[in-house]
A and B are shown apart, each in its own frame.
Chain A
Amino acid sequence: MRYVVIGNSAAGVSAARAIRAADPDGSISIIGEEPYPYYGRVLTSYYLGGRVNREALFLAEEDWYRRERVEAYLGVKAWGLDVDRREVLLEDGRWLPYDRLLVATGARPQMIDVPGKDLPGVFPLRTLDHAQAIRALIRPGDPAVVVGGGLVGVKAAEGLLGAGAKVTMVVSSPQVLSQILDAEGAEMAQAALEREGVQVLLGDDVVAIEGTGRAERVILRSGKALAAKVVVVGKGVQPNRDILLATEAIGRRGIAVNQFLETAVPAVYAAGDVAETWDRAWQASRVNALWGNAVEQGRIAGANMAGASLSYPGSLAMNSLVLGDLGIITGGMVRPPQPDQSQPELPYRVLSRKDSRRQLYRKVVLRGNQLVGVAAVGPRGESPAGVGTLLKYIGKELGSPLLEAFLLGRLSIAQWLRLPAWAD
């Protein structure tokens, strides 16, 4: 059997591992546009901030490919696909035939479309190269602007702080982390960022980046001008789905897959940030662009490519974030849809509790008696043990004593034993 994997990151490498475990003899090729062996994308902001050194970024040494007999085409882009002949076209003109193909091409950052966006000093933060370029430019005391208050924006701000920069964050929404936190939780996150020294500007937009030969200033809609040696844009990501664009595998945002992570194209699977999978909390197909989901989907897709028929239980938005002295864990649907004219009645119930003295915020979202969303915000020194148990229960029914304990910030290991038996 000839397996080809496009994408040498979380989903692709875990698929290659699963394929090798199930099929010791098959030929496995992995194609990666970036010239490096498998590295931890999540670590790039830590690398930027000097908390992780370059060697520690790598999660598989070059030796791994040899040992596992995985043919690596690194620094090579896959250009196209002939789904009838079952061949992948590489940018150097070679064709790689496959019996099973995995598209694990991940996502690319969305850039802002303003004058000056192409000036040197303006970066997204997605790859090792981006982190390295930002690192090479920034010096302690330099002004830096982060555009966007989402997960990557926040990580970029932390990285820049670690590198000694003076950071201003420009957020178009009225709060930070609007994808994963409601206003109350976000207020605490923003305060934690500010305690770290980040200046946060809400409800404002970048309308231009100015400078002679390189970025020097950022102009905001409000008229403010901010000095900036580097501008890091964290405005969300877009699935890299071009390779299947002309096929029926295209979904609303990414590549659509079934419960076995197969696409509509025969012998082609998809996993990770590029894949649109069933979301257990939303009960709909969504792209949940997260590391853990990518690894799990890769593992299941890989096993299935090698002949298993593992059914993917569905993805979840699950985030863990440590911002200075604050810890945040969220899962599932933290912000349920709001009722409007078309749907005046929605089945969601929200329970939340804030304990300002203990700096604790807890929230659960229920659909009927089913748990669909969890948020736990608290001091870094507080042990969040037990939250993992609760996250396992997303999509299932829960008794109220447990919810109460969680809301009070008292969910301990003892409580989890009171959960109904968790059947997967």
Chain B
Amino acid sequence: MRTFISDCQRATLLIERRADQQLPLAERMQLWAHLRLCAYCRRYAVQSPALARAARLAAQAPSTAQLPPDFAAQLQRRLDEPG
């Protein structure tokens, strides 16, 4: 039988929701109880926000890309003669 206390699928879903909103008290307690027992989900709880931070960093990573000159020249013409 599927009970919350051993339900890693539900626990990890709550971990994701928790990052965005405060969980209702009952769910917070269920999650707390689950995390006491489940080492895998404790790992998940640590790694999940780390992954979010990494994604943020990757999106901000310095880049040296430049607009292709042809494309930029074409755009520049449009900006020079608005209307």
Co-assembled chains A and B: no
Name A residues whose Cβ lies closer than 8 Å to a Cβ of B. none
